[in-house]
Amino acid sequence: MMRILLAAFLGLLILLTPTSLALAEPDPAEQTQQQIQTIEGQANAVRGELANLNLALEKVVEHHNTTRFQLDQLTMQLADSRHLLDNASAQYDAQEKLMSDRLEALYRAGEVNMVSVLINSNSLSDFYEQTLYMAKISEQDAKLEKQFKESADNIRTLTDDIDQKRSEQMSLERELSDQKEQIQAGIAERQKRIEQLDGQVREIFAREAERVRAEQAQAAAEAAAMLRDLEISDETQAQVVQTTLQYLGVPYVWGGESPSGFDCSGLVKYVYAQYGVQLPHASSIQFRMGTPVPPDQLQPGDLVFFYGATAPQHVGMYIGKGKYVEAPNFGEVVKISILSFNSDYAGARRYPLQPRTPVGR
């Protein structure tokens, strides 16, 4: 946003800054531009920091999102593992109860049961088989108990491992959240700084606009005083001279034909276009188009030419009382000069000026 304001302002500054009969030192408009450029440099540095912080924030947020996803996965795994552990514990408890009930049934009477087995056996072989069967049942119960216990221990170990990883992920998530908050605070701080710099530029714009208005009023007063001093009786001639005086102080620009910059033929071309006369942007051709005017018959609004009897290379506008306005050379500005009919003078020309046709200044 500041770049757009800066570009627009610098363009308008050239168009709106009024000209005066003498250049101020130092130039306030130039100082204003330097101030804005300094602030823009500071803003660009802050924008660079802001871009780096936004990039860092993006990385932290992505890391945080990954951590959050992994944490959710671990939370589900932990819930599943605890469910398996509960089931294993329930199975272990059930098996333990079954073994207890069976042992209680088998050994409730101690040796009596063994005697009963012996009495009820048809032979020693039958007795041996029944006691072996009872031993196998006891052995199988012990094996199942061991398997259930090992399974529960494995599940418990897995659960503890998942719980540890989940704790680590939670710690990492908190750390990333803290980093995110710190980066967001840095972003907010720099955004506030950019807003402050924007505010400084707006203040400069306001001060410069006020200065421009004051100088415009002063320039208008000086132009009106000069017009009174020139004592121009013809209304159209007075308007042409008044229009030309508005551009005093505009910088010389080679090929320029607008208030952002004029060369000599571009200045008179631009002014004359507002009074119904279309001139080419070339002093030598302008010289051939008008009506010749002797030095003693010069009137305000006539064009005066220099440097070349048949193809002059320079032109200005006569404003009366031996003075003319010109865009002299590179590095200078539109100014008032004293007319001299020396060897450089090529002649004057008059054109059929019409009542003003306003154009954007």
Q: What is the mean pLDDT of residues 319-337?
A: 90
Residue 277 and residue 192 share a domain: no
Residue 268 and residue 206 share a domain: no
Q: Could you say which of 159, 182, 212 is where a domain stops?
A: 212
Provide the pLDDT for residue 312: 94
At residue 13, does pLDDT exceed 60?
A: no
pTM, rounded to two decimals: 0.45
Q: Residue 194: inside a domain, yes or no? A: yes
Q: Summarize pLDDT for 288-302 with one digit per residue, the tens.
A: 999 999 999 999 999
Residue 187 and residue 272 share a domain: no
Q: What is the mean pLDDT of residues 102-128?
A: 53
Q: Residue 328: inside a domain, yes or no? A: yes
Provide the pLDDT for residue 281: 92
CA-CA distance, 74 to 68, in Å (whole number)?
A: 10
Between helix 124-230 and helix 28-107 the angle, nearest 10°, is 170
Instruction: Please state, rounded to an integer, the average pLDDT across all residues of the chain.
Output: 78
**Per mean pLDDT, which range of 15-29, 98-112, 243-257, 318-332 is the poorest?**
15-29
CA-CA distance, 250 to 243, in Å (whole number)?
A: 13
Provide the pLDDT for residue 175: 85
CA-CA distance, 24 to 4, in Å (whole number)?
A: 28
Provide the pLDDT for residue 168: 82
Provide the pLDDT for residue 138: 64
Q: What is the mean pLDDT of residues 158-180?
A: 81
**Per mean pLDDT, which range of 52-56, 189-193, 346-350 is the poorest?**
52-56
* CATH classification at residue 27: 1.10.287.1490
% pLDDT > 70, the chain: 73
Which of the given ranges, 83-87, 248-252, 313-317, has the highest pLDDT on average?
A: 313-317
Residue 169 and residue 55 share a domain: yes
Res. 304 pLDDT band, cuts 50 70 90: very high
At residue 131, does pLDDT exceed 80?
A: no
Residue 151 and residue 13 share a domain: yes
Q: What is the mean pLDDT of residues 223-232?
A: 76
Nearest to 270 by CA among 282, 281, 257: 257
Residue 273 and residue 168 share a domain: no
Q: Summarize pLDDT for 170-219 with one digit per residue, the tens.
A: 888 888 888 888 888 888 888 888 888 888 888 888 887 787 677 667 76
Q: Residue 356: inside a domain, yes or no? A: no
* CATH classification at residue 329: 3.90.1720.10
Q: Residue 17: inside a domain, yes or no? A: yes
Q: Residue 226: inside a domain, yes or no? A: no
Helix and strand numbers, DSSP H then E, in the chain: 7, 8
Res. 106 pLDDT band, cuts 50 70 90: low
Res. 40 pLDDT band, cuts 50 70 90: confident
Q: Residue 119: inside a domain, yes or no? A: yes
Provide the pLDDT for residue 100: 66
Q: Residue 44: inside a domain, yes or no? A: yes
β-partners of residue 292 are 349
At residue 239, does pLDDT exceed 60?
A: yes
Instruction: Give residue 216's Cα distance to chain centre.
Output: 35
Comparing 314 with 210, the larger pLDDT belongs to 314
Q: Could you tell me the CA-to-CA distances from 263 to 114, 254, 345, 347 in Å, in that order?
A: 132, 5, 18, 19
Residue 338 and residue 253 share a domain: yes
Residue 199 and residue 141 share a domain: yes
Residue 257 and residue 129 share a domain: no
Query: How many domains in the chain?
Result: 2
Q: Summarize pLDDT for 275-286 with one digit per residue, the tens.
A: 999 999 999 999
Q: How far apart are the first and last CA of the chain?
A: 27
Q: Could you say which of 179, 212, 245 is where a domain stops?
A: 212
Residue-number span of the structural domain to which 244 is assigned:
231-350
Q: Residue 342: inside a domain, yes or no? A: yes
At residue 127, does pLDDT exceed 60?
A: no
Q: Could you say which of 212, 240, 274 is where a domain stops?
A: 212
Provide the pLDDT for residue 258: 93
Res. 60 pLDDT band, cuts 50 70 90: confident
Residue 343 and residue 294 share a domain: yes
Residue 203 and residue 240 share a domain: no
Are 193 and 46 contacting, i.e. CB atoms less than 8 angstroms apart? yes
Provide the pLDDT for residue 357: 56
Residue 135 and residue 35 share a domain: yes
